[in-house]
Amino acid sequence: MGIYSNYWNCNKVADWVRGIAKPESASASEWVKWEKLAKSSHPVRYWIVETLFRKLQNFVNWPYDKFHAVRYYINNRWVTKSHALTAHPSDIKPGQWQDVGYRFLPCLFNELVDFVEIEQAWKNVLWDEEARKRYNVPWWRTSFLKWRTWRCPESGLEYLDWAASLTNADWVDESDPTYGQPSPQAESAKEIKELYLWWTQVYKNRPDPYDASGWSEICDRKRGESIMAKLDDSNESPEEATEKNKSLKTLREIEQQYDQEEEEMLIRLIKIRRSLWT
């Protein structure tokens, strides 16, 4: 079945043929009640609209669907490259060697950034013309090609904030003690936003361990010395030796702290992976 902006079984003609109007929106339980009522009231007319209309629409739109199948393949293969995990050039320069263990963090979090700034950003404006104007969505993003390359961090975060406000009120009765609690989608949205902000704001602005520990300054002072002089510790004063040891100890502590933080964030990202879909 194709994916269309307008379905033949969701308009006034379909309501007339079916004999019962289809609600524009409803909760899961309300949809079940409506379906039972529509089937029992006019079973043949229900089959005509919900089955025959869909088959006819798929048949008529077959050339259109095939065209878009090719378009999506080109987009997935060469534009969004949805078959691969890639690092941003600011994290791993193209052509630069990087061991596998060091690719995981930037590749996975770069994909998270694209998910928020491209996919979630588009969902935020997809059905909202005012939002498209507010975020200056370019004409080519809404054309028949619709390449998924428009990026807008603000729009993506706005969508996550909306999703984070959702509750279970649609499927839990008011008498339930958990009524009004955040929905699973809301919990996922909060976690996605926290991970996104950690990568884009916290991680990107962490002090360099060599600078923070003072080791860079020590190395700068020795930069003008010969290699043999740098390796010779016999001429170091007690103060210099103490400073160097203290700096190295601090350097190791900072690196260990960073490694632990990165590992925790990677684990959190892996745990939320099933919520990263569009």
pLDDT band at 277 (very low <50, low <70, confident <90, very high): very high
> Does 123 share its domain with 226?
no
Q: Whole-angstrom Cα distance, residue 195 to residue 227?
A: 44
Q: What's the pLDDT at 228?
A: 46
- Determine how many CB atoms are found less than 10 A away from the CB of residue 255: 13
In a domain, 12, yes or no: no
In a domain, 234, yes or no: yes
**67-81, 97-111, 250-264: lowest mean pLDDT where?**
67-81
Q: What's the pLDDT at 86?
A: 85
> Does 252 share its domain with 156?
no
Rounded to two decimals, the pTM is 0.78
Q: Which of 187, 170, 188 is nearest to 179 (CA)?
A: 170
> Does 215 share its domain with 184?
no
In a domain, 258, yes or no: yes
Report the SS3 class of residue 207.
coil
> Does 133 share its domain with 176?
yes
> Does 177 share its domain with 260?
no
> Does 114 share its domain with 181?
yes
> Which of 202, 218, 249 is a domain's end point?
202
124 φ, ψ to 5°? -70, -30
Beta bridge partners of 182: 167
Q: What's the pLDDT at 121?
A: 97
> Does 164 share its domain with 239?
no
In a domain, 213, yes or no: yes
The tens digit of pLDDT for each residue in 14-24 reads 999 999 999 98
Higher pLDDT, 114 or 148: 114
Cite the DSSP H helix spans in the chain.
12-18, 28-41, 43-47, 53-60, 62-74, 100-114, 121-125, 129-134, 153-164, 184-197, 209-212, 215-221, 227-231, 238-271
Range of the domain at 162: 89-202
In a domain, 57, yes or no: no
The tens digit of pLDDT for each residue in 216-241 reads 898 888 776 654 455 456 677 888 88
Amino acid at 153: P
Beta bridge partners of 167: 182
pLDDT above 50 (res 197): yes
Q: What's the pLDDT at 166?
A: 95
> Does 101 share its domain with 189?
yes
Using a pLDDT cut of 90, give the percent of the chain over it.
65
Question: What would the two tokens of residue 12 be?
Answer: 């006034």
Residues 254-271, mean pLDDT to the nearest whole number: 98
Residues 157-182, mean pLDDT to the nearest whole number: 92
Where on the phi/psi map is residue 228: left (φ > 0), alpha (ψ -120 to 50), or beta? alpha
In a domain, 14, yes or no: no
In a domain, 223, yes or no: yes
Using CA of residue 196, residue 197, residue 198, residue 203, what is the dihedral sign? positive
> Which of 176, 202, 228 is a domain's end point?
202
The mean pLDDT value of the chain amounts to 89
The tens digit of pLDDT for each residue in 40-94 reads 999 999 999 999 999 999 999 998 888 878 887 887 788 778 888 888 999 999 8
Residues 193-220, mean pLDDT to the nearest whole number: 94
Domain total for the chain? 2
In a domain, 161, yes or no: yes
pLDDT above 90 (res 267): yes
